[in-house]
Structure 1
């Protein structure tokens, strides 16, 4: 019995301790949100857990406002953000995963009877509802500069849809998935959607972590193994995606 105990103890000591990575996430249901129990939940969150497990890491999730998540990525307060590519505020501060599990669409939402949004000029002389704290990948700052565009803010996605229904804005600028969740669970009807920008969801690694390049490679490889086994969506080809005409001018 003593010999067996010593063997078990030796085996336990031989198991290397797993590193814990700090993951910042923001409120974008159903992809990522904080559940009633305080735990991180959502499709992107669960996929992040599976990839990290495959790569051999434990995770410590931190629920953050968007601006705080960006700050912590720049300063090393978090290691990873399950987010989107091409964020101007993070240029030269992060590494993006090469794999992208799904697209992330930003849309303009309007009540029936409103003019369609087919060009950036269609937003001129209109009132836009934005989600407070969202940068929309740098688009929020640009929307506040052209003359004729009025910006008003809502504290969350549900309040934003309610504001649109009550006529407190001509259009709501918000991501597709959160608005669809609100509409599925509300009595609001007669809202139309117009695509504004389609981006790539990805894992964003802080360059303040000296192992950022290694972590990215390990996450990419782990994801590809999961995809090969049918345990993750097939990796998408990264692309510039759709962009509302006139938005890049």
Structure 2
């Protein structure tokens, strides 16, 4: 998530007429350019972020013009903090509390699992990975789990795969005892490359919330309106995620 510097403008958003007719300033929805949601790519060869579909449904009903922008995660946070981007959907983090408002309604959840062969000991908590051999995917921080894996005192052998597909292949070949991965992309790969006798343990589950910059006009009212719309939407159908 940290190494890429290319900014990609997504081809999703309002028409020029919608922009002209809306009383609201156009919203820029920024999101990480390495997906925790899917391995699927859109027609531009970029990750097919399902939250873009949810954003489209929200903003269309609210009558707010918008566009999406994918960024490396650190730059995404910088943009939200300095106001150059004013919306996202993220797990709660203290680094955005001063600059942004968080919704109260979780609109999605992001889970991290430990995948293993059935004859390998289960993992009940993060500390159980100490002294073990694991597979991770390049670029992910795993919300702090990555730091635990990399810390030398924990004596974890970390085998880094370039992609989710390669990580599953490594687990199938028993290159390590455990694969740490986000549920949705992992399940997409496993649907294509099933592993006989595979088991998994939940390592982390965190809710995802609407995030709106405090600098956006009438931010509290706009966020409340977006949340009210979200409660009426069939979010599961819109997101269409694997592994739920």
| Bin for the TM-score computed over the shorter chain | 0.7 to 0.9
Q: Which has the larger radius of gyration?
A: 1
The answer to whether the aligner puts 1:98 opposite 2:104 as a matched pair is yes
Tell me if the contact between 2:115 and 2:199 (Cα under 8 Å) persists in the aligned partners.
yes
Deviation at 1:161? 1.5
Q: Distance in 2 between matches of 1:125 and 1:107?
A: 18
Structure 2: segments with no counterpart, 5+ residues: 1-17, 237-244
2:86 is matched with which residue?
79
Q: What is the TM-score of this pair, normalised by structure 1?
A: 0.72
Alignment check: 8 A CA contact 2:212 2:223 kept: no
Match of 1:182 among 189, 207, 221: 189
Within 5 Å, which residues of 2 pair with 1:194-233? 194-206=201-213, 210-211=215-216, 214-215=218-219, 217-228=221-232, 231-233=233-235
Question: Offset at 1:198?
Answer: 1.2
1:44 to 18, 42, 51: 51
Please name the residue that 1:22 is paired with: 28
**1-side partners of 2:43 and 2:21: how far apart?**
35
Q: What is the TM-score of this pair, normalised by structure 2?
A: 0.73
Match of 1:117 in 2: 123
The question of whether the paired residues in 1 share the 8 Å contact of 2:86 and 2:216 is answered with no
Give, in whole Å, the separation in 1 of the partners of 2:169 and 2:106: 32
**CA–CA distance in structure 2, aligned partners of residues 21 and 46 of structure 1:** 15
The 2-side partners of 1:133 and 1:93 are apart by 26
Whole-angstrom CA distance in 1 between matches of 2:77 and 2:146: 15
Contact 1:96 1:203 in 2 (8 A): yes
Root-mean-square deviation (Å) = 3.0
Unmatched tracts of structure 1, length 5 or more:
1-11, 235-249
Identify if the C-alpha distance between structure 1 residues 115 and 192 changes in structure 2 by more than 3 Å, giving closer, same or farther.
Answer: same
Deviation track 1:199-232 (CA, whole Å, cap 9, x = no partner) reads 101123345xx228x446424423323534xx33
Instruction: Name 2:4's counterpart in structure 1.
Output: none
Instruction: Tell me, in whole angstroms, the C-alpha distance in 2 between the residues paired with 1:185 and 1:121.
Output: 31
